Amino acid sequence: MTENRAYVQNLAQEYIEAGKPTEWFEQLYSQANNDDTVIPWADMKPNHNLVQWLDDHNIQGQGKTALTIGCGLGDDAEELCKRGFKVTAFDISPSAIEWCKNRFYKSTVEYIVADLLNPPAKWNHTFDFVLESYTLQSLPTSLSSQAISLIADFLAPEGILLIICRGRNIEDALEKVPYPLTKDQVMKFVDAGLSLIQFEDYLDQEKASVVRRFRATFQK
């Protein structure tokens, strides 16, 4: 896994330096050829930081819409669907979306290939719940302001946004992907028109290591 993580970081770096920061994902998913052990973030189960938050807040999705950003292999989208939401889940990688459709062939989740940085206009002001986990941190920081403002626009009035990401202090060096976010970066959602409901900063077990995690909730 460590070896694979290094391979993935180098692949990302190569594409970022070539000015194509979102193209390595498709390369990785298509090369994986349905072997999930090749995808460092693929746990093949819903993110426990999401599940715990949904449980703690007794979230019921019946009659509500949800959007999962950069849905990867689909486990979080399926969890939201299980909780009653009508879910749209998108990823920039056609191979990841194909993988989701094959894994969850009976699912009612609508899996779509789309680019967060150029999303369908019909998603503006549409969703009651938006989940962003680990996509912002996989993009170079130069793209984060644009991505944050687009994510905020997905919310319907009073809609809720849940962000789950790695956290860092401003003085911490940024090396290779993932690029942990600072609290100030996450708080840019307020500049984008949202109100902060809750901000959590904690240590989280991620596979074999412990990482600093931010989990924040905003409302339109």
Ligand X SMILES: C[S@@+](CC[C@H](N)C(=O)[O-])C[C@H]1O[C@@H](n2cnc3c(N)ncnc32)[C@H](O)[C@@H]1O
Residues that bind ligand X (CB under 6 A): 22, 25, 41, 47, 70-72, 90-93, 96, 115-117, 133-135, 138-139
For the bound state, the minimum distance from the C-beta of residue 133 to ligand X, rounded and expressed in Å, comes to: 4
For 44: left if phi > 0, alpha if psi spans -120 to 50, otherwise beta; the answer is left
Of 22 and 218, nearer to ligand X (C-beta) is: 22
Q: In the sheet where 110-113 sits, what is the strand order?
A: 110-113, 86-91, 65-69, 127-133, 155-166, 209-219, 195-206
For the bound state, the minimum distance from the C-beta of residue 91 to ligand X, rounded and expressed in Å, comes to: 5
Of 47 and 185, nearer to ligand X (C-beta) is: 47
For the bound state, the minimum distance from the C-beta of residue 88 to ligand X, rounded and expressed in Å, comes to: 12
Maximal CA-CA distance, the chain:
47
Q: Rounded to whole angstroms, what are the CA distances from 38 to 25, 27, 28, 58, 188?
A: 12, 12, 8, 34, 33
DSSP 75: H
Strands 155-166 and 127-133: parallel
Of 70 and 180, nearer to ligand X (C-beta) is: 70
Of 59 and 96, nearer to ligand X (C-beta) is: 96
For the bound state, the minimum distance from the C-beta of residue 128 to ligand X, rounded and expressed in Å, comes to: 19
Please give the helix or strand (H or E) that residue 52 lies within, else none.
Answer: helix 48-56
**Residue in this structure with the two tokens 């849940």, named with its chain if needed:** 162
For the bound state, the minimum distance from the C-beta of residue 61 to ligand X, rounded and expressed in Å, comes to: 18
Of 45 and 125, nearer to ligand X (C-beta) is: 45
